[in-house]
Structure formats: structure tokens, C-alpha cells
A and B are shown apart, each in its own frame.
Chain A
């Protein structure tokens, strides 16, 4: 449909590009894209820079409309976008700035299992995970919740399911916001959303969601890696999923409710997917309440996925998860909006930070960083593709000055799903991965084709940009050896 970006873009330095505020009369701030020259060439091939400019028109937007180096074309907001608005200056909240998969995020687990031991059992391990973890379209959770319990779950978040035996107390301490956002409003979640999410707690889903068994292949920052428990040559596990049907429906309901809000509040929008309302408005508050409930659901979902993963490992290695050292390193959201304090022009302000395909990246000493990581900073989890690598980074002070405490969230797609399927024609992606040392299982026929490594940018190149910028720095590179997908 849409072609290349044809608007203005100015290079600031080796890692930053500006879309000047003068591009569109409605832009209130500049757009800033973080990328090196090679990444920028591919970014300009679609309309994602236009979306960065569009977000810069939102009322109350502060600083700049930002895009991480894994930016790609989304709907309304680009994927990889960060936008902070000031509620005290009429700042808005936009469901499109969070996305349909509210609190889609990543959870990383470390283990004491040496790679050679895991490689010897990797087929059995992946098959066991594939059997034990509900995934794919229509997968239903193994743990059933009543309607009443679901309302308690969206209020209580991860601690609610841990209290029921699905995890360890220490998992909570190593989860963003302790796995539960205050201010969740179960009454703001529609019956439709509850129905859609009722039997999906503890399911992986499809699309780009996965569980990956990885080897800690390279440690760059020994101090941070030691704090995170990452040992070279040992196994780690990454879980990527979100709020399933409940979150999708919360977003859909909110956008529908907000369709008239721009007219009501006199907001001109360049794209109706950007619908929004002032944070302080009744509509904005209802969305915040529902979004927080969906975020809590997502943390419960990943908590149950971790529980099932630990069970699968215990079964295959014949030892309890505790003895395998399967401690959670961290769980972080990359589709969320949160009220966070920042310094703006010398004043302390509480901003509404939208992260759509962007990961929180708080530095050492930040009160929201777990005690065990206070000296080093928050783990920033950046999954790549299932053939090359994923990265663990650590948040740095510059992120607080430059990106509202945010960093990239992944590699970013370069091929559309259709193009990936065409590129896979006549090939077996599963066999290619196997030859590269990765055992992969997927429910759908097209899942592996659409998610093949070539469909993504090289995550190491993406990570190089944020490392050079100093918003997060490299801790360890993880190499996949097994993956399950929906």
C-alpha cells in the first residue's frame, strides 16, 4: 500500500536522526529516530517515520516523539515508538500508543544447566515444552479460573497466581512493577474482554510469541551478568507473550469508546488509529484502569508460562526446578503506558510514557530497580530472531535523559509476513534451523515461515546502536538452541 517515507530527515550524529517539527504544522515536537546509517536506509523504506511525525502532533507531548532502532511500520504509532505526554499540560493517553497486546513482554530465566547437557536432550526438552505449554490459535490454559477469580487476577497481578502456587516469591521481586500495576479497574474491563481472556491464562498464543531455550554465549559486562546470574555456557530461557484475548479486547473497546473523544476535546489527529483523550478525562481514566487490568493479566500469563516451563525442565532433567537453578532474571513489559516522574526543563513532572514495542530501561539506583540489581541497573531483555541471537542489556542513566527510561524491544521486522512466506517457498525453515543447531516446533504451518530469521533485522546491529548511545549497554548475548512457537 504505502511506499517510502518522503518527508524530511536530518542526521544529528552517528546514531540519531531528526524529523524536524517544521515538517507538519501540527507537530508540537521533533521526531527522533535512533539508528545507524544502514538501519536508517531500511527504516526509510516504509511509512514508520511518518508515524513518528504523526505522534509528535499529540497534545501534551513532551521532548520528542521517539523511535528505537527496531522501529517498523505499525498502525497509528510505529512499533518501537516512545512518547511521553504531560497530563498537567493537557497530555493525552492513546490506546494505539500501547497496542492491542497490552503488556506484551519478555521474561528471562537463568539456569545452572550446562549447554552440553541441554544439547544432549534438546529434542526431548523442546517436545516436552511443546506438549506442556498451550500454544497456537485456540490454545486453552491448563489452569482454569472462574469469572470471579479472573476479576481478582486482573486486580492482583502476578502475586495472585504465585499465591496459588504457580511460581516463587522471588519471581515477583524480579518483575517490573512487581507484576501488578496499582489502579487496575476490573469494572472498566468489558464482559466481552473477560470472555475472550477467560481460558487463555497460561497460553503462549501465536504470531511472534515464543519460548526459547538459549545458551549464554558471550558475556560483555561481567559485573552485571554476575548480578543477573548469567553464566557463560549455561542455559537460559526466554518467554515472550502478552495479555492474550483479554488485552486485545480492552484495546479494541477503548479505541471504539474514544472514537468521539478527539471531537469532544478538540484534538486534530492525522490518523484515527491515534485516537486519544486527556489522561485526566473520564475516558482517559477508564482506559488507564482497564489497561492496567490487562497488564496484570499479562504478568499472570507469563507467570503461568514460567510455571509450565519449570515443570517441563524438571521432567526432562529429572530434577526440581529449584535444583536446576531456574531463577527468574527479570520480566519486563514492552507495550504499556505508565505514569512516571521525569525532570522536564528543570521541573519534576509526572509523565504518561507510552512504550509501544519499547522496553523500560532504568539505571542503577532507580527505586524501581530490584534490590539485587541496584548496583548495576535494570535488565533490559531484547529478543532477536530464532536463528541468530538475543541480548540482555542493562539500563543506563542516559536513558532517563534521552528516552524517558526506554530502550529497544527486539530486532524489528524487515519482511512482511507475506514476503517471508514467499521467501520460504521450497524451503523447510525447520530443517534449516536444525542444521544451524536450533530445534524448532510450531503449531501452524506458516508460523516458522513467517518468523524465519531473515524476516528480522540483525538484533546485534540494533543493540549496537543503543549501546553506543549509552541508553542501555550490553551484558550478555544468548544463542538459541530450541524454540516453540504458536
Chain B
């Protein structure tokens, strides 16, 4: 089984994230961590988490991944909330449903390095590998 992990890769003015996981659903965790790693070092405030239901539809899994990450970015940008857990109920070719646990970012304890403008469609891909899936996405800085 592929371990869940992410790594950042270079793109001239922006930053890319490469993710691998045993299942499509498990891509979301490291994809989220990769996005946060670009923003900086995020620390949550330790208070009780709130739940948020996400229901996304698109033509293919890579678009669902992008739309999920756009939601995660929006939650950070508007209200400084970070996803601390994600429970995926369905990640099919055209549909993603999940419950995310959100906690507030402790801005004073965090180190915010970069403003991510958006998760782009450039080099956006998910593909099967021998022991799971890999994905790439690039964010605009």
C-alpha cells in the first residue's frame, strides 16, 4: 500500500504539490496538508472542532480534488479555519461527499508565509499507480 504523503515541487512563479495515497479518498488528507504547508506552519487553537458537510460534483476525480481544495482554501481565507480531519463517504468519478472537522487557526502561534491565490487547473492530475493513486496540483502564489 502506498503511504499517504505529499511533496512540494517547483513551478516557476508558483508551487506544485504531488500527493500519493492507497485510495482516492485518502488523497484528500495529504493534499490538504500540502496546501497548508505552502501557506506556512498552521497551528489550531485547540478548541472543539466544528463539522462541515461537503458535497461536490464534477466530471472527473481531478476536478473534484481541485474543488475540494478550493473549499479548504476558502475556509482558511474567510474565517481562518483549518481542516483537522476529513471523513470521506464517497469519492467516485463524479461525486465527492465528505465531512470535515474544522478548527480555528491560532494566528499568533502560526507562521503565515504565503498567500495562496487559488488552486489552479494547470498540471492537475490524478492517476493510478501500482499501490494506489498519485495526484498533482499547482497553486497560484
Contacts and interface: CB of A to CB of B under 8 A. Distances in A.
A418 B8 contact: yes
A99 B118 CA distance: 10
B10 A447 contact: no
A251 B117 CA distance: 10
Given A1-B136, A273-B120, A413-B12, A137 B78 contact: no
Contact of B13 (A72, A137, A245, A256): A72
Contact of A1 (B11, B58, B107, B113): B11
Contacts of A252: 70, 118
Interface in A117-161: 136-138
Given A416-B12, A418-B10, 14 more contacts: A1-B11, A73-B13, A74-B12, A75-B140, A100-B118, A137-B112, A137-B114, A196-B78, A206-B141, A207-B141, A248-B117, A248-B140, A259-B63, A447-B113
Contacts of A165: none
B113 A251 contact: no
A468 interface: no
Contacts of B118: 100, 248, 251-252
Contacts of B136: 1
Nearest to B107: A138
Given A75-B120, A205-B115, A446-B113, A416 B70 contact: no
Nearest to A242: B117
Nearest to A51: B122
Interface in B62-108: 63, 67, 70, 74, 77-78, 80, 107
A75 to B, nearest CB: 3
Chain A contact-residue range equals 35 or more
A405 interface: no
A75 B120 CA distance: 7
B40 interface: yes
B9 interface: yes
B24 to A, nearest CB: 20
Contact of A137 (B40, B59, B120): B40
B107 A72 contact: no
A192 interface: yes
A74 B120 CA distance: 10
Given A138-B107, A207-B114, A445-B111, A417 B140 contact: no
Interface of A: 1-2, 46, 48, 72-76, 79, 99-101, 136-138, 192, 195-196, 205-208, 245, 248, 251-252, 255-256, 259, 271-273, 275, 413, 416-419, 444-447, 486
A259 B77 CA distance: 23
Given A100-B117, A271-B122, A444 B140 contact: no
Q: Which 9 A-B residue pairings sit nearest by Cβ, starting from the closest?
A: A75-B122, A416-B10, A137-B112, A248-B117, A444-B113, A100-B117, A418-B10, A73-B12, A206-B115
B112 A100 contact: no
Contacts of A418: 8-10, 15
B127 interface: no
A256 B136 CA distance: 18
Contacts of A195: 78
Interface in B27-79: 39-40, 58-59, 63, 67, 70, 74, 77-78
A99 B117 CA distance: 10
A332 to B, nearest CB: 20
A444 B40 contact: yes
A99 B113 CA distance: 21
A207 B115 contact: yes
Contacts of A74: 12-13, 122
B131 interface: no
A255 B117 CA distance: 14
A416 B11 contact: yes
Contacts of A275: 121
Given A75-B138, A207-B141, A272 B12 contact: no
Given A72-B12, A76-B122, A255-B121, A417 B141 contact: yes
B113 A75 contact: no
Contacts of A137: 39-40, 112-115
A53 B111 CA distance: 40
